[in-house]
Structure 1
Amino acid sequence: MAIDLRVLRNFVAVASSGSISRAAEVQYVAQPSLSQQMKRLEEDLGAPLFERHARGVVLTHSGERFLTHAVDILKRMDAACEDIRTMNSTPEGVVAIGMPLSIAKFLAVPVVQEVLERWPKVHLQFMEVGSASVPDDVLKGRLDIGLTFGMESDARLRFQHMLDEELVFYARPATLEAVLGPGGAQVKALKLEDLQAFPVILPTVGHSLRKRIDEYLDQEGVIFRVIAEVNTPPRLLELVQHGVGCTILSMASVDHAVLGERLRAVKITAPTMRRSVYSCKLATMPMTLAVASVQELMCATVERLTASGAWPCAYPEEG
């Protein structure tokens, strides 16, 4: 059984859009022809790939598995073609990178600017995505490189350590005074166990930052008085600024303009709390020259920003 690469690309388009009609427009294929193509593909594979509904299509379990293979095959073919085409040449082609907002705020401008200046034939797609979605986005071909706050035990993925970020305790000056007494608002550092006295608002269970905080709490035998859970840093900070409670975030997550009368950043000691940032890419497929060049540029940019202090409380080496 031979399956045309064109059919694979059309299948991926249908799976991504959730609609045969939308995929037909994107792929410049007549809708009846595309519908027949998908039916023949299911017949050839001997398994239903889609559940068809009035509002579109949804992948079956078999469809999900076949999508992973299809994306891998297409990316390998594209990489092989580009590898030969760009031998002894300059990088070119599409490169999709994604990362959480707190990382993008440091990397978006320098990376996009330098890619445009150095490699005009590279079409960079820069996306802000949640850390938890990065591995899946890489596996499904939506991203060539993703930055995430955790590693997964998946042989299909390769993670590389980029940097460590220090986690900091945030509270209103009035809250620090209320818990610690007169002069509390001037405190520069607190032990992790000292934070048990404060009302704390944390990200929801399952959030990458919450997982890291819970690891430290379990390790040190510390129990926080968690009064609420909120899964976005802007809302966490908003609640802290209104005196509802306190929280723990990286310095990168906070606009330094808000520090002062309404918000204090307090260093956490015994132990110092950190979280790691990793790059994530497919382990089973060689990178194109364009993807490899962009990854190298991101690594160099991270080193420069951490060394200069432009990325606050961030360190290029684990520890």
Structure 2
Amino acid sequence: MTAYSGHLQEWLDLGDADLSLLYNLDSSPSLAVTPLVEEELWAVAPPGSGLTPEVPVKCRTVLEHPFVLPVSGHGLRSLIDQARATIDVQPRIVAEVNSLQLQKTLVQAGHGWSMLPAAGVRHDVESGILTGAPLRDPHITRQVVLGLQRSGRTPTPVEAVASEMVRVVRRLVLDGVWSGARLSSSLPGDRRANQDSDS
């Protein structure tokens, strides 16, 4: 299932899901959280805008263009708003949408620039549909974590899936497939092995 991070967390709390990938979440009484990846946001612009993955662009530069934003309440919007608060530029917001694909479509059509996860635009930038560059001043990142219910011992099948997710994430980052991401320093190697050694 896919949904906003808040909905996924609610499903975990209610027991409707066993585990989930979430963003910028700390452990809580009901959830055990394992940091996996620190993922960077990129500036995203229409073709021909001159952005390139090799040259970071200032957030101020992005905000000086018409701007396409996620809706309020979205995790990305919170990160972007925090960055905007440190820059004395009031962007001209042309759209607020709740779909990554719609954001990319609006940018591609020339309605404005945006800030999006590097992994979400990698193929579009490589194919020339969009242009993109890492952000600086400030550098904006979000943390991807694995969330599990705290209720008792994790069932063996759930633990097996969690271990496989950790291995897949590690391989995607190390192989350069997950653009703009670096592994968390606390990323475990194999959750089942770690748990067995602790018991």
TM-score category of the 2 structures, normalised to the smaller one: 0.7 to 0.9
SS in structure 1 of the partner of residue 71 of structure 2: coil
Give the % identical residues.
Answer: 28
Quote how far apart the aligned CAs of 1:281 are. 1.5
**Aligned match for 2:144, one of 277, 287, 296:** 277
Corresponding residue number in structure 2 for 1:157: 31
Corresponding residue for residue 107 of structure 2: 240
Deviation of 1:185 (Å): 5.6
Looking at structure 2, the residues matched to 135 and 249 of structure 1 have their Cα atoms a distance apart, in angstroms, of 22
How many Å apart are 1:275 and its aligned residue?
A: 1.0
Q: Partner amino acid for 1:306? A: V
1:148 aligned to 22, 29, 37, which one?
A: 22
- When residues 294 and 153 of structure 1 are mapped into structure 2, their CA distance, relative to the original with a 3 A threshold, is closer
Alpha-carbon distance in structure 2 between the residues aligned to 1:240 and 1:315:
26
- Structure 1 residues 222 and 279: alpha-carbon distance in aligned structure 2, compared to 1, 3 A threshold: farther
Question: What is the one-letter code of the residue matched to 1:131?
Answer: S
Q: What SS does the aligned partner of 1:229 have?
A: strand
Which secondary structure does the structure 1 equivalent of 2:85 belong to? helix
Alignment of 1:1-319 (within 5 A): 127-151=1-25, 154-174=28-48, 176=49, 184=50, 188-220=55-87, 223-254=90-121, 256-257=123-124, 259=126, 261-317=128-184
Q: Secondary structure at the match of 2:16?
A: coil
After TM superposition, the score normalised by the length of structure 1 is 0.53
Residue ranges of structure 1 left out of the alignment (5+ in a row) = 1-126, 177-183
Kept after mapping to 2: 8 A contact 1:189/1:267: yes
For the 8 Å contact 1:259–1:265, the answer to whether it is kept is: no
Q: With the length of structure 2 as denominator, give the TM-score of the two structures.
A: 0.82
SS at match of 2:154: coil
Per-residue Cα deviation, 1:52-89 (whole angstroms, up to 9, x for no partner): xxxxxxxxxxxxxxxxxxxxxxxxxxxxxxxxxxxxxx
Task: Give the ranges of 4+ consecutive aligned residues of structure 1 lying more than 6 Å apart after TM superposition.
Answer: none
* Shift in Å, 1:164: 1.2
**In the TM superposition, what is the alpha-carbon distance from 1:220 to its structure 2 partner?**
4.9
In 2, the alpha carbon distance for the partners of 1:266 and 1:258 equals 9
Which protein has greater RCO, CA pairs closer than 8 Å, 6+ apart? 2
Q: Which has the larger radius of gyration?
A: 1
Whole-Å Cα distance in 2 between the matches of residues 232 and 153 of structure 1?
Answer: 27
- Structure 2 unmatched ranges of 5 or more: 186-199
Distance (whole Å) between structure 1 residues aligned to residue 24 and residue 51 of structure 2:
33
